Structure formats: C-alpha cells, structure tokens
Amino acid sequence: MPYYYFDLVIGEEYKNQGGIILEDLELASDRADQLAVELSLVRPELKAKDCAVRVTDGDNNELYRTPLDPIPRWKAASHVRPPMPAR
C-alpha cells in the first residue's frame, strides 16, 4: 500500500501535516478533505488566505489538492439555472 503525505499550503509555503499508509488515492483525498475541514474550524483565519491541503506521494508529486474554504454546494448550485421547460 502506498504512503501519502499531507501538507497545509499557504501561498508558496508547504507545511507538513504528516503522512499515512492508505489503500489508494481515493482514501487519501477523503482524508485531505477531512483535514481541510478540521483546519478551517481550528484556524478560521486560514480560509481568508486561500489555503489548501495537498496530498503528495513519496517523490513529492502532488496528487490532490482541496481548499480550506470551498464554495458551499448550495451556493454553487444557486448559480446554475434550471433548464427551460419545453413548449
């Protein structure tokens, strides 16, 4: 099983948040999403700085990134117009 590393991204700076062995990238991305939510709750000031959590492999290749302050689904959905009814 691969080892995944997690970083807090603040601008051009990467702060190591640890690593873990996980089955696949899907689980690693889920963990990154959870970490982003936790960090946004513990350190809400980071949301205004466009911070993110990234997942990398052992060669430091970025595999996934998620923002600490994603656009809420309800807000993103409000920008989508429903289809016009057929006449």
Q: What is the pLDDT of residues 25-67, one digit of tens each?
A: 999 999 999 999 999 889 888 877 779 999 999 999 999 999 9
Can you read off the two tokens belonging to residue 51?
A: 């911070």
Distance CA 87, CA 47 (A): 45
Neighbours of 47 (CB within 10 A): 16
How confident is the model at residue 47, as a pLDDT? 78
Distance CA 37, CA 41 (A): 6
How confident is the model at residue 7, as a pLDDT? 96
